[in-house]
Amino acid sequence: MWGKNKLQMPVKSTDSLIGHGGTLEGKLNCDTNLRIEGNFSGEINCQGTVTVGEQGTVRSSIRAQDIIIAGKVYGDVIADQRLMMTDTGQLHGNILAGSLSIMEGSVLNGSVAMAEEPATEKAGGLQKKEQADKAGKRGSKQAETA
């Protein structure tokens, strides 16, 4: 019974942490989630979620799937999926994100650009198809009555 549960549970990746009082400089690439409670300067590229805690200060460009800002960030951020700024978050830089959530009380100094999802169909395409179907049905009914 215990063996089955262990086999079905996926292996959880280890998160990385820059703790309160810690300072790190350089280029950081990670495949897991990253939480920053200390100070970081440089460049961050992350395949998971980057969280800047309330005590965290980041002087860096950040690129990640998801970004959560509760501390201070000085630099441009790119969130492939979503960016969330809490009420204590401060961002002094530009944003490119798939979706954006900014809570009241947060500070944003910079520009925002939203990543556009490609449209599956042109606007009005469904209506044209329905109209064509109706016209086709009318034509077939007229042919049956004639």
Which string of DSSP letters, residue by residue, matches 75-92?
A: S-EEEEEEEEE-TT-EEE
Q: 113 pLDDT band (50/70/90 cuts)?
A: very high
Can you give the pTM of this predicted structure? Answer: 0.70
Task: Read off the pLDDT of each residue in 61-76 and give the average, rounded to a whole number.
Answer: 96
Q: Looking at residue 101, what is its pLDDT?
A: 94
14-51 in b/e burial notation, b at 16+ Cβ within 10 A? eebebeeeeeeeeebebeebbbbbbbbeeebebebbbb
Q: Looking at residue 56, what is its pLDDT?
A: 95
Q: 16 pLDDT band (50/70/90 cuts)?
A: confident
Mean pLDDT of the chain: 81
Q: 17 pLDDT band (50/70/90 cuts)?
A: confident
Q: Looking at residue 57, what is its pLDDT?
A: 96
78-113 in b/e burial notation, b at 16+ Cβ within 10 A? bbbeebbbbebbbbebbbbbbebebeeebebeeeee
